[in-house]
Chain A
Amino acid sequence: MCLAVPGRVVGIEERDGTPMARVDFGGVVKDVCLAYLPEIEVGEYAIVHVGFAIQRLDEESALATLRLFERIGALDEEFGDAWAHAAAEAESAPEEENR
């Protein structure tokens, strides 16, 4: 839960009066709220936690972190299917998927 993942801002738009971004985490693209980092621009990297950009990060650090996370499977832990993980642990599957 405390994992914060660096990602590259690939697009910015305003939604319901709130700045939002599309952020690319090494191939996984997510909607991210920019309310706490409104000055960030397309092409820059940010540390993102539960859908919120919390701090800027330089590109070199961001790419190194993403490489490590990919290698150790942390990206799948963060963005993968939580129901599948839970079902695998419990050795039973829910009747339906909700994501």
Chain B
Amino acid sequence: MKYIDEFQDPALARRLLDDIARTVTRRWSMMEVCGGQTHSIIRHGIDQLLPGNIELIHGPGCPVCVTPLEVIDKALEIASRPGVVFCSFGDMLRVPGSDRDLFRVKGDGGDVRVVYSPMDALRIARQTPDQEVVFFGVGFETTAPAIAMAAHQAKRLDVRNFSLLVSHVRVPPAIEAIMRSPDCRVQAFLAAGHVCSVMGTLEYPALADTHKVPIVVTGFEPLDILEGIRRAVRQLERGEHRVENAYPRAVRPQGNPVALSVLREVFTTTDRAWRGIGTIPDSGWRLSDAYRDYDAEHRFEITGLATEEPAVCRSGEVLQGLIKPHECAAFGTACTPRTPLGATMVSNEGACAAYYLYRRLTTPRTEETASVD
């Protein structure tokens, strides 16, 4: 969908685009942090509707994509064991480990179940006390409160056959790491709206000040994204670097205080390896010492894992915004959603999958353009 008539409110989309076009006087690069926003941008052709001197760099905000290979391999190992019911969000089924995925583990006889919520996994544990039920807890700050509550309830209800394999990641340290990279081209950020629904916006002013970078909290729908871009362009053109909330209907500055208090109780900040990127200090959450008994990594002895990434896959560079998906030689040939080499081609929030699904390039490295008329 690349034509403005297909927007929810074409007249408003037109006004936003006109305002952006009137405001911009030079080239600017901005990063949408969240994979959900990347998906929306490519699906709706927003990048092609914008003036040519605004570049959107796709960020690393796809939890499926950045879950480390080692953690995926641990999940596959645990899920393969007899007596284990392995519960996961559906997004993780086809994320490639070193030699298989959860979909294959189930095909080989493992008891892998897709749940809508981690509370469903806790319910399964209470219904099947003779089985070890493990939930695969991945995701950013939007998802972490759900996993935290499942751990909190398991402890409160003394459910002993339930544990969590946790690999949560946090947005602000990722922004910090991106800005500190010598290759950084990002001049403004569209921050992830639903992360801020939970966390609020108070972590961001220090980042905006330190790195002199506008940060605009942005929603996920096409009009929300255009408004976020419009505000980022205005700040850039004026030489400002403030935190702005362009998604006030879902984001309050203080976030969700109840969720924040449970997050603090259940999780502890930790260094986290991001798949394709490397370790980012303090960028993850692990279960706190008070919840060690519910940590699947402690409950299951996992040794002898040898992780191996496909050499040809350049998803790490895609996740850092250094290349666009179609600049990878494997894109659309060796690597497709059916035969994904990297997680960015699996997740519908991954930039590679979004480009493959909605930007069928006639030849690699050639951007097609769309008319806004």
Interface, chain A (partner B; CB < 8 A): 1-4, 16-18, 30-31, 33, 35-38, 47, 49-52, 54-55, 57-58, 61, 64-65, 67-68, 72, 77, 79, 82-83, 85-87, 89-92, 94-95, 98-99
Contacts and interface: CB of A to CB of B under 8 A. Distances in A.
A2 B146 contact: no
A86 B145 contact: no
Q: Which of A33, A52, A64 has the most CB of B within 10 A?
A: A52
B114 A54 contact: no
B142 A49 contact: yes
B114 A52 contact: no
Given A2-B140, A36-B145, A54-B198, A98 B91 contact: no
Query: What 10 pairs across the A-B complex have the smallest Cβ distances?
Result: A51-B117, A82-B90, A2-B36, A98-B113, A86-B93, A82-B114, A36-B259, A55-B197, A1-B91, A50-B146
Contact of A4 (B113, B197, B262): B197
A83 B119 CA distance: 20
Contact of B197 (A1, A54, A89, A92): A54
Contacts of A4: 142, 194, 197, 250
A37 B118 CA distance: 17
**Chain B interface secondary structure, helix, strand, loop or mixed?**
mixed
Contacts of B145: 36, 52, 54
B119 A49 contact: no
Contacts of A47: 194, 197, 250
A26 to B, nearest CB: 15
Contacts of A94: 103, 106-107
A36 B256 contact: yes
Given A16-B153, A36-B256, A94-B106, A52 B338 contact: no
B249 to A, nearest CB: 5
B193 to A, nearest CB: 8
Given A1-B349, A2-B61, A82-B90, A37 B256 contact: yes
A82 B112 CA distance: 12
Given A2-B139, A82-B91, A86-B94, 6 more contacts: A54-B145, A54-B259, A55-B251, A55-B252, A94-B106, A98-B111
Contacts of B112: 98
B117 A52 contact: yes
B8 A3 contact: no
B114 A1 contact: no
